[in-house]
Amino acid sequence: MFKKIFAACTVAALLAAAPAAWSAPAAARDNMSHALAVTGMVETPLILTVADLRQLPSANGGEIAVTRHDGDKAETIASYKGVRLRDILDKAVLDAPGHNDVKKLAIIATATDGYAVVFSWGELYNAPAGEGVIVYYEKNGKALDDNDGEIALISAKDIRTGPRHVKWLNGIEVRKLVN
């Protein structure tokens, strides 16, 4: 009898302490990103606000369809303004002193809600796709709102742009994959 009561109390305590899996997602404003931290294998870790990003070379894009992994269109962005991810990494200076070290780097972009996407050094610096990986702070001529955070990222040259579209962007981490 004691075991049943203890088990019931334990389950009740766990349910009270943890959010239910079936609960509604957090409101978009709860995920707002106000700054972007650049960390990991960089010589100069950075924390960049929108004002800081505006001081870097601007990258503007025209109309782009944000498509989901299955090819369905999620939204159309008429225009966006931001900075190439490559330019942000150049400001932080990649910490890759060995001849082939850059080829072993992965760049992970994360959002306040835990969403994350990955790029290789080769994609960003040695392929046409790198031109279109943009950390943006304006969409359709306006500052980003609660639905995107103050800072977002899009890989505009991907065939399906949605899977690497990061709303509420707050982190760029550079990791060395292998020794």
The model's pLDDT over 10-33, given as tens digits with 9 standing for 90+, comes to: 333 433 443 433 333 445 567 778
Q: Where are the beta strands (DSSP E) in 26-151?
A: 36-40, 46-48, 59-61, 64-67, 73-77, 80-84, 105-111, 116-120, 133-139, 142-143
Report if residue 75 sits inside a domain. Answer: yes
pTM confidence score = 0.81
Please give the residue range of the domain that contains residue 41: 31-176
Report if residue 67 sits inside a domain. Answer: yes
Report if residue 138 sits inside a domain. Answer: yes
User: How many distinct structural domains can be found in the chain?
Assistant: 1
Report if residue 17 sits inside a domain. Answer: no
Report pLDDT for 4.
Answer: 39
- Residue ranges in the chain whose pLDDT is less than 50: 1-26
Report if residue 102 sits inside a domain. Answer: yes
Q: Judging by DSSP bridges, how do beta strands 142-143 and 133-139 pair with one another?
A: antiparallel
pLDDT 10s digits, 128-137: 999 999 999 9
Report pLDDT for 24.
Answer: 38
Report if residue 26 sits inside a domain. Answer: no
Report pLDDT for 118.
Answer: 97
Report pLDDT for 22.
Answer: 34
Report helix, strand or coil for 5.
Answer: helix
Phi and psi at residue 130, to the nearest 5°? -60, -30
CATH number at residue 64: 3.90.420.10
Report if residue 70 sits inside a domain. Answer: yes
Distance CA 93, CA 87 (A): 10
Report if residue 129 sits inside a domain. Answer: yes
